[in-house]
Structures are given as C-alpha cells and as structure tokens.
Structure 1
Amino acid sequence: MNPHKPIARLVLALFLPLLLSACDTPPDRQRFPEITFQHLPPINLDVAQIEITSDYRSTEHADDNAAEYPEAPEQLAADWARDRLKAVGSRGQANYTVVEARAVRVPLPRSSGLNAALKTEQSDRYDLSITVRLEAGNPLSGKSGTVTETVTRSQTVPENMTLNQREAVLFNLLDTAMKDLNARLEASIPQYLGPLVR
C-alpha cells in the first residue's frame, strides 16, 4: 500500500469543498449611488393632497427586463413625485400617474462564420421609455391643468461585456432618463400648471 495515499486523500477531502465553493462564488456586485431628487427644492402645488399611482406593471409584460436594472424604473418614476411635489393648499388634489416605465432588451442580429470570429459585435439593445402624467385642480380657485411627459433612451452593448459592465450601462441609462424627466417636468409644470404653482 502506498503510504502517501491516506495523506493525499486527506488533503483532497479538506480542499475539494473549498475549490468547489470558489467555482460557485458570484462576481462582486458593484454598488451604485441612489437615484434621487430629494436634494432639489420642492415644487409647491396649491392643492390639499397629492395622490401617486402607477398604471404600469412590469410583471404583466413578458419581455420587460426591469429586474436587470439596479433600481426599478417604475419605482423611480413614482419616487420623483415623492421627492419633488409638495401640497401646500387647503383645497383640491393633484394626481401623479406613472403611465409607462417600459424596459426592454432587444437581441441584435449578429454575423456568422468567420466574420463573427474576427470582430466584436453589439449583442443587445436596451430600450427604456418612461411616461408620467400630472393632473391638478383646485375648486376654490377654479384652476386646473394637466402635464404629460415622456422620455426614451436606448443603448447597445457589445457581446463581450461583463455583468458588472452591463449593470453600469443600465444604471447610466436609467440615471440619464430620470434626469431628463426631471428637467422636462421642471419646465412644463410651471407652463401648464402655472396658476397652481406656489
């Protein structure tokens, strides 16, 4: 009997679980800053209350890939109203609705054969579309109005992109879309709901 076999078995028994667990270890997930607008001044509306709702449910759309984003687009679109809108009146109501927060990954056609092996191609396109509507009215002043804004963003990614790189692309896509939405609403609310802005 080989005297080294028991030692070899012991070493294998000790280190095999470690080797197998190392193979299953997922890559370190990067942390992204929170997308928020709480640092900006509130938009004061002459209404007694603000109701925030969503007509869009990502789970109802089989091709929606909102789960791949660091934060849910639908939730961020609703959070914008919580961060920026403030009721300062004694009568009336504002209704802020997330009409759509659609996130879709579209696989792109790629070359085959030798051409595919010689170049790195774009494998997917990420499309993001967010639409919100703000309706407000005050029966005391008789003023009312509606604002609807839509932002869309698209970004293609290469086939050799890592998971962390892909997540960074989606974060930037969402961050840019929300900043655009914020800028559009900042401009359109005074324009279309001017008499209700305080």
Structure 2
Amino acid sequence: MLRRLFIATCLSFAALPALAQGGALDLSMKDPITLDVASIEVESEYVAPMKEPNVDHLITITPSDAVRLWASQRLKAGGSQGRARVVIRDASVREKELPRTTGIKGWFTKDQSEEYDGRLQVDIIVEGSARGFSGSVSATVTRSTSVREDVSLAERDKTMLAMVKEMAADLDRQMEPAIKSNLFPVVIIQ
C-alpha cells in the first residue's frame, strides 16, 4: 500500500498533461460547450479520506483530476458576466477485498482479489448570467472493476486508470445532453 502511494504521488505531477494529450482521457475531438458566462470555475467539496478503503488518492489520475480535465476540455466561457461552477460532490474509489478460494484448490486458482468501486457526482451551477438565468444540472456516475490476485502493480494502476477514464466518458455522456436541455438559455450555439 505504501509503495502504491509513493508511486502514485511521484507520477501524478506529470500525468495530467499526458492525460490531456491523447493519454487516458482525451475529449478534445468533441466541440466545447460554450456558455454565456464570464468564467467557469471547478470546485471540489470532496476531500479524499487518504485511508482505506478509499484508494482514489493512489490513482495516477484521480477522479477529481479527470473532472477538472473534462471541464477544461468541454466547457468554455463565452459571456461577459456571471459564472458557471463545476462542483465535485464525490470523486471516490473504494477498494474491497474479495473472497478467495481456500484449501488445495486455492493453490491452483487465481481469483479476483480486489474490487474497485468508483463514483463521481458532479453539479454545474450557473449564476448571474447576462440573460438573468440561473440553473443547474447534476450527474452521478458509478463504475466497478476487479483485479486478479497475481496482478502486477503496473497492471493494477492501469486498470484503475481505465476505470477513471470510463467514468469521465460516462460523465460527458450524461452532462452534454443535460446542459443542452436544462441550461439552454445560456448555451451559445456556434
């Protein structure tokens, strides 16, 4: 566990740019959604517990990082006043040990040993726009994955990073239509 923390800490400083440039998450091929607000801010109400069963802080790109990247790639401010706040309510990944085969049969069996349950809960709140509109949209995304007991540290990290990528893609699939239908008074059509 300590080894994973050290590796994740060392890699996390350099990983966000790599993630954005064709790495694990790249939404740049999609057109940004331009909102009639002067600024878009990302806030996190989620504070990683930094202890078991939570492991989100050990992932090279945390779910919170993925939401920040999503917001920077998909949302664009195009107005003169007001703001949109992207509020991260939950960005957790929890590890759960799975039961393993015991006895002689267990010596010859490679079981799934850990399950990772991820959850993103994100709100976008528009306040004080030039059009006088205020409103919000929300999305909640969950994903789970598991690893075999003989998985390497690198493969475990790759598996969790893939789950974070899938959660961010799910978030995008939920948020885009919600923004266009519920925040339409401030969506600028280009």
Relative to the length of structure 1, the TM-score reads 0.77
Partner of 1:57: 47
Instruction: Report % sequence identity.
Output: 30
Q: List per-residue Cα deviations over 1:89-116 (Å, max 9, x = no partner).
A: 1222211111110011111122321231
Relative to the length of structure 2, the TM-score reads 0.80
Partner of 2:14: none
CA RMSD of aligned residues (A): 2.2
Q: How many residues are treated as equivalent by the alignment? A: 170
Of 152, 177, 190, the residue aligned with 1:187 is 177
Partner of 1:86: 76
Where does structure 1 differ by over 6 angstroms across 4 or more consecutive aligned residues? none
The whole-number CA distance in structure 2 between the counterparts of 1:185 and 1:61 is 30
Shift of 1:139: 5.0
- What is the SS of the residue equivalent to 2:134? strand
Correspondence 1:114-129 to 2 at 5 A: 114-129=104-119
Amino acid at match of 1:68: L
The whole-number CA distance in structure 1 between the counterparts of 2:152 and 2:89 is 32
Amino acid at match of 2:54: D
Q: List per-residue Cα deviations over 1:21-64 (Å, max 9, x = no partner).
A: xxxxx9xx9x9724233343211111122221100121455422
Say if 2:171 is the partner of 1:171. Answer: no
Correspondence 1:36-185 to 2 at 5 A: 36-59=26-49, 62-138=52-128, 140-185=130-175
The whole-number CA distance in structure 2 between the counterparts of 1:139 and 1:52 is 17
Pair 180,195 (structure 1): closer, same or farther in 2 beyond 3 Å? same
Shift of 1:120: 1.5
Amino acid at match of 1:80: W
Pair 62,118 (structure 1): closer, same or farther in 2 beyond 3 Å? closer
- What is the SS of the residue equivalent to 1:151? strand
Answer with 1 or 2: which has the greater Rg: 1
- What is the SS of the residue equivalent to 1:50? strand
- What is the SS of the residue equivalent to 1:191? helix
- What is the SS of the residue equivalent to 2:140? strand
Pair 194,117 (structure 1): closer, same or farther in 2 beyond 3 Å? same
The whole-number CA distance in structure 2 between the counterparts of 1:62 and 1:158 is 19
Contact 1:54 / 1:78 at 8 angstroms: preserved in 2? no
